[in-house]
Amino acid sequence: MKIAICQFNPIIGDIKGNKEKILAGYKKGCENNVDLVVFPELFLCGYPPLDLVEKKEFRNALQIAAEEIASKTIDVGLIFGSITEDEDDNVGTNIYNSALLCYNGEIKFVQHKTLIPNYDVFDEVRYFESAKTVEVIEFKNEILGISICEDIWNDADYWKHRRYPLDPIQHLYEKGATILINISASPYSFGKRKEKFEMLKKLTSDDNLHLVYACCVGAQTELIFDGASFCFDNKGKMCLLGKKYEEDFLIYETKNNYNEILEIESSFEDEVISALILGIKDYVQKTGFKKVLVGLSGGIDSALVTYLAVQALGKENVHVVMMPSIYSSEGSIKDSEKLIYNLGISSENISIQPVFDVTLKQLENSFKNKSIDITEENIQSRIRGLYLMALSNKHNYLLLTTGNKSEIATGYATLYGDMCGALAVIGDVYKTQVYQIANFINKEKEIIPNEIILKAPSAELRPNQKDQDSLPPYDLLDKILQLYLEEQKEKNEISQIIGNEELVNKVLRLVDLNEFKRKQAAPILRVSKKAFGYGRRFPIVQGWRK
């Protein structure tokens, strides 16, 4: 069988635009004389549609669009993901995450998703029912076993511990499937593609089945979908690998003999840079913006965000503003100017000092008999936030925030100050990883000035301030945070590994007590298996760790 995979980039809720993409991909498949054209999970509505699913008008529009798409089909098959309903069922939501097979002008077959995930960023149990049956369909002398994303992540031979008692793929195998088709919208995190490869290689070699694994590409708010669709032959050999982080059109012929593909994931730095660039580009363009604004401090975080924005949008669409005070070092301005020159971007320099002085004067009576503390530091940050939001409003810039995961985890950021913005670009990248990525960017030539990379990090809100005055060294801090957040180790386990119970207690307390800040933060582009956002849900008011 000759099968085309349309690894395309949908927009959530844009039913008309997504329908046109499906029809365009189908037409291209027909022109290439394929037997079957395959699109990813929920492509017609975009993934994840969240509470749009609850709108009857939305679901009706999807049904009409699906029928319109089917009416355009000929004898070439078309599979795409959408939402379907069973109004005759009186139990549950009656709503399904479904794969539709169309040909000869009709929707011929519908397979609902069986395994409905409800962990990390997934909340499909909120909306969808599980398939009551798993069926195969004969099509052009092959028996297709169609599944949806999570359905293929429960192979008993691969996983030591399975999330679900059912294995839909085993049912498809037992019912005589000769080709597996899995349509997927699986969010990216570093290392996940390699895990998918190993799992699917095991499955296809054990079951002696061809597999077409159609992946979504693009970013939907904080979730990034990396593409990289797979095709395996029935010996467990990967035959085709789609482009990473961009749209692609692949054709797999089951009778052909392909060279085996073994390299499926690049370095951490290369993958994360590519993911964040796609995240910025799609967020900006899908929200209707063209230009972005970054507050450039002279530090490594804002330098990295600025570089990524230029790669995503072009230098003509990135504007930066320096906002010095009396505490800003001369080097911070010079280093920022050097970065501006290297990237060829527009900039301006607006001091916060006059406004800061007036503000302190206005508050003099209210602050009487109170010593200087973090309040004055936060005022500076909030003045910068005021400037940034004013420029954003006036020039229709989308403001990018520059805080890293280490800062966001420990609350080392100011609400309505440096947290102002629409998108947290590196909020899922630890400080040590920021340095790692910056050095990777500079491997061939200096783009981010070495002075920025080498100097001790500082918020520059008081004389001679350094981050390590308030936080442990970042290499130690990040190790504790990774153990707590990504690996979900308990306090005593982390203390044994680190060898400093007092320090561990302090860091974990900072994480837990600063949930109120994260609830008000901009969406964070997700590149790890556990990012802040709706993939990690903790109460603000709680008595677990005070």
pLDDT, tens only, 11-36 = 999 999 999 999 999 999 999 999 99
State both tokens at 311.
């790669």
In this structure, what DSSP letter does residue 221 have? Answer: T
pLDDT digits (tens, 9 = 90+) for 452-463: 999 877 766 667
Helix (H) or strand (E) holding 6: strand 2-7
- CA-to-CA dists, residue 105 to 78, 247, 339, angstroms: 10, 27, 57
pLDDT digits (tens, 9 = 90+) for 81-112: 999 998 776 677 899 999 999 999 999 999 99
Q: Which residue in the list 6, 19, 41, 530 is annotated as catalytic?
A: 41
When pLDDT is averaged across residues 432-455 and rounded to a whole number, the result is 96
What's the pLDDT at 430? 97
pLDDT digits (tens, 9 = 90+) for 243-257: 999 999 999 999 999
Ranges 22-26, 201-205, 354-358: which has the least confidence = 201-205
In the beta sheet, which residues pair with residue 533?
536
When pLDDT is averaged across residues 419-437 and rounded to a whole number, the result is 97
Cα 168–chain centre separation: 27
Q: Which residue in the list 6, 45, 102, 149 is annotated as catalytic?
A: 149
When pLDDT is averaged across residues 425-430 and rounded to a whole number, the result is 98
When pLDDT is averaged across residues 384-401 and rounded to a whole number, the result is 98
215 is catalytic: no
102 is catalytic: no
pLDDT band for 542, please (50, 70, 90 cuts).
Answer: confident
pTM for the model: 0.94
Q: Which residue in the list 113, 244, 286, 405 is annotated as catalytic?
A: 113
Burial class (CB in 10 A: 0-12, 13-18, 19+), 16: exposed
Q: Are strands 36-38 and 2-7 parallel, antiparallel or unpaired?
A: parallel
Mean pLDDT taken over the chain = 94
Residue 296: strand, helix, or coil: coil
What's the pLDDT at 205? 86
CA-nearest of 331, 312, 280 to 453 is: 331
pLDDT digits (tens, 9 = 90+) for 134-185: 999 999 999 999 999 999 988 766 777 788 888 999 999 999 999 999 999 9
Q: Are 151 and 168 in contact (CB under 8 A)?
A: yes
Looking at per-residue confidence, does 332 or 304 come out higher?
304
Residue 109: strand, helix, or coil: strand
Tell whether the model's pLDDT for residue 467 goes beyond 70: no
Give the amino acid at 259. Answer: N
What's the pLDDT at 89? 67
pLDDT digits (tens, 9 = 90+) for 229-241: 999 999 899 999 9
Give the amino acid at 86. Answer: D
Q: Could you identify the residue written with the tokens 């109004």? A: 87
What's the pLDDT at 330? 84
41 is catalytic: yes
What's the pLDDT at 329? 83
